[in-house]
Amino acid sequence: MRVQLETAEGRTYQMPPPLSCRVRWTGGTPCDDMEVTTAYDGALAEVLPQVCRFAVYEETLLLRGVVDEYEAAVSGQGELLTVSGRGMLALLLDNEAEAAFYQRATAAELAREHVEIYQIPCRVEQRLGPREGYQVASGSSRWKAVSGFTQYVGGFDPYMTPGGELIVGPWTGRQVALDRWPILACRRRERRHGVLSQVVVRDKSRGTRQVVEDPAFIRRGGCARRVIYTPGRSSWAAMRYTGDYQIRRAKEGAVTAEVVLAGAADVRPGDQAALRYGPLGLDGTFRVAAAELRLDSGGVTTTVTLHL
């Protein structure tokens, strides 16, 4: 595994061979990220303040992104350099969009205005729009300006490839079987905090009110209510969509499984992973939400997060 650092002027530098490295892929939020630690002899001392991008390679590119932090330290382990960063989606999350109202919005137009200005290539695989009356609220990130549109019109989030290209289209991952690799550990988790039982949507202009509930969660004793105020002139369908959307998004990732595999498993977010693990009652095919490759003194492992 090798790590390359890049300055704003385009100069590149190779880090020494990693002592430990962690690369995590999500394709969305939270960002893909990485952290690498190497032996340090001071050779990069003048370069480090200038670096702004990184690229992690094995046989192919694993992740390209934005350098967030570096640290040089001396301890009982010797002199060490640690660099951490996030995937290119960080630029869309860190930069705020101006409030705007689009008479007829399209995915291609939003990509040009909010993505490509950061030299992030964007491929529109599913044409969306034109959509009349799309609004970017004040305080929204560049990512929210685009993902809010794709969610409302197409019902999906765009995703970022490890190489830094934004894809406007639903994930179409591969079919993989996790039992191809030895399972070192497995855990199943259900989160109830943050899951919504009821959403009340109020149209301030018309004085109308729509209530959307999750009956299954309510039957299990769930009780969490939110009230949302729309900017006005919302149709009943749009109001209900807003409530349904809030309930659906709140449930995403509420039930997960985390599987630790031996070696560098070829599993990525968006894949459909088959898993049969009797002790935890896992038997089926589940969407991969995240994958983490870790290299350290204990060897190489891959941790896969599944949404059940």
| 38 alpha carbon, distance to own chain's centre | 27
302 contacts: CB under 8 Å, gap ≥ 6: 181, 260, 261, 263, 264, 265, 267, 291, 292, 293, 294
Residue 166's pLDDT is what?
A: 96
**Confidence band, pLDDT 50/70/90 cuts, at residue 126:** confident
Residue 70's pLDDT is what?
A: 97
**Confidence band, pLDDT 50/70/90 cuts, at residue 130:** confident
Buried b (16+ CB within 10 A) or exposed e, 91-106: bbbeeebeebebeebb
Distance CA 124, CA 168 (A): 5
CB 29 within 8 A of CB 93: yes
Pair of tokens at residue 198: 């009821």
Distance CA 297, CA 305 (A): 23
pLDDT in tens, 14-59: 999 999 999 999 999 999 999 999 999 888 999 999 999 999 999 8
What percent of the chain has a predicted confidence (pLDDT) above 70? 96
Pair of tokens at residue 296: 């350290």
Residue 153's pLDDT is what?
A: 86
CA distances from 62 to 3, 42, 65, 222 (A): 10, 26, 10, 41
CB 304 within 8 A of CB 259: yes
Q: What CATH number has the domain spanning 175-190+254-307?
A: 2.40.30.150
Position 214 pLDDT exceeds 90: yes
pLDDT in tens, 224-237: 999 988 766 666 66
**Confidence band, pLDDT 50/70/90 cuts, at residue 243:** confident
Sequence spans of domains, the chain: 2-87, 92-168, 175-190+254-307, 198-251
* Span 2-87 CATH architecture: Roll (2.30)
Distance CA 71, CA 120 (A): 27
Continuous H helices in the chain: 89-94, 107-114, 142-154, 215-219, 236-251
168 contacts: CB under 8 Å, gap ≥ 6: 107, 111, 122, 123, 124, 125, 126, 128, 146, 150, 158
Residue 119's pLDDT is what?
A: 94
Residue 252's pLDDT is what?
A: 86
Mean pLDDT for the chain? 92
CATH class of 92-168: alpha beta
**Confidence band, pLDDT 50/70/90 cuts, at residue 205:** confident
Position 141 pLDDT exceeds 90: yes
In this prediction, residues 210-233 reach a mean pLDDT of 88
CA distances from 235 to 107, 131, 212, 214, 299 (A): 22, 14, 15, 21, 56
